[in-house]
């Protein structure tokens, strides 16, 4: 049954999905397949939850060693497609661990994040990173400049994925690359509603269509199991957050590479 709402990306009708508690909190486009929250989480809500003691933010820096291991894996993947020197913009750069690893490999590093706390942390610790509070549409970012833009676990937070991808296209130099990771939208209706923390969820087809509409050529798309240790290892907040997801053995991540044509 339609709820009368239209998809912001293609204009077609959105149909309701139910979670494990039978609450309608997700909507799916009947045409492009894009899944979104019925009620968006807006920037003010996200910034407040990250900067004022949210579970995720409390343990982020404490998990630095593990996060650097992940960052090195991501950097190796990136450098299998494009080598330094060059400039990287990390959208949703958090505490800057990925950018610090990239800096040590010869990249010029820029970062942007909604969280004031994270940007202050980068400024106090990593002098070689140009970091700004805001989002990718920030006018301080130079168009046609970046060789690489990374968007790891970030695109789903926006309320306008296509707009973000178009902005990334404008910021990239000719032939530049976009690297992304997103929670894969498989069997999301089994998740409890409090675990649905993104505004948008993507499968391979709908993300491919968004990239094409933004002007990109898709280079790579792969699905892998989600590594759930995204906070301080074995802390109680981590267990409380992760155990319900861990029970969903088929939770996956979608990794994508696209190039400015």
Convert the pLDDT of each residue in 114-164 to its tens digit: 988 899 999 999 999 999 999 998 888 999 999 999 999 999 999 999 999
Give the per-residue pLDDT at 179.
98
Regions of the chain where pLDDT drops below 50: 1, 230-232, 234, 247, 249
Q: How far apart, in whole angstroms, are the C-alpha atoms of residue 136 and residue 31?
A: 27
Give the per-residue pLDDT at 153.
92
Q: Indicate the pTM of the whole model.
A: 0.89
Q: Per residue in 19-41, pLDDT tens?
A: 655 566 889 998 988 999 888 88
Q: How far apart, in whole angstroms, are the C-alpha atoms of residue 12 and residue 5?
A: 8
Give the per-residue pLDDT at 61.
84
Domain ranges of the chain: 41-260
Give the per-residue pLDDT at 139.
82
Give the per-residue pLDDT at 231.
46
Alpha-carbon torsion (25, 60, 184, 147), positive or negative: positive
Tokens representing 125 are: 């610790």
| SS3 annotation, 103-129 | HHCCEEEEEEECCHHHHHHHHHHCCCE
Give the per-residue pLDDT at 227.
63
Instruction: Domain 41-260: give its CATH superfamily.
Output: Vaccinia Virus protein VP39 (3.40.50.150)
């Amino acid at each position: 049954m339609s709820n009368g709402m239209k998809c912001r990306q293609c204009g077609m009708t959105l149909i309701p999905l139910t979670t494990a508690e039978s609450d309608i909190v997700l909507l799916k486009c009947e045409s492009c397949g894009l899944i979104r929250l019925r009620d968006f989480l807006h920037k003010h809500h996200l910034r407040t939850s990250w900067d004022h003691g949210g579970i995720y933010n409390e343990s982020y820096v404490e998990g630095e060693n593990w996060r650097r291991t992940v960052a090195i894996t991501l950097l190796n993947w990136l450098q299998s497609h494009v080598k330094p020197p060059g400039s990287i913009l990390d959208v949703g750069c958090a505490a800057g661990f990925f950018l610090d690893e990239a800096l040590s490999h010869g990249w010029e590093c820029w970062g942007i994040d909604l969280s004031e706390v994270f940007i202050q942390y980068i400024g106090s610790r990593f002098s070689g990173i140009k970091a700004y509070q805001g989002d990718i549409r920030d006018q301080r970012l130079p168009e046609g400049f970046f060789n690489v833009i990374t968007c790891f676990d970030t695109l789903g937070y926006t309320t306008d994925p296509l707009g973000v991808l178009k902005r990334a296209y404008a910021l990239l130099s000719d032939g530049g690359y976009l690297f992304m990771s997103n929670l894969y939208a498989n069997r999301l209706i089994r998740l409890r509603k409090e675990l649905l923390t993104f505004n948008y969820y993507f499968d391979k087809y709908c993300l491919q269509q968004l990239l094409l509409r933004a002007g990109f050529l898709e280079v790579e798309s792969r699905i892998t199991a989600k590594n759930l240790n995204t906070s301080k290892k074995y802390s109680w907040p981590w267990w409380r957050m992760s155990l319900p997801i861990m029970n969903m053995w088929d939770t996956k991540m979608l990794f994508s590479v696209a190039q400015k044509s």
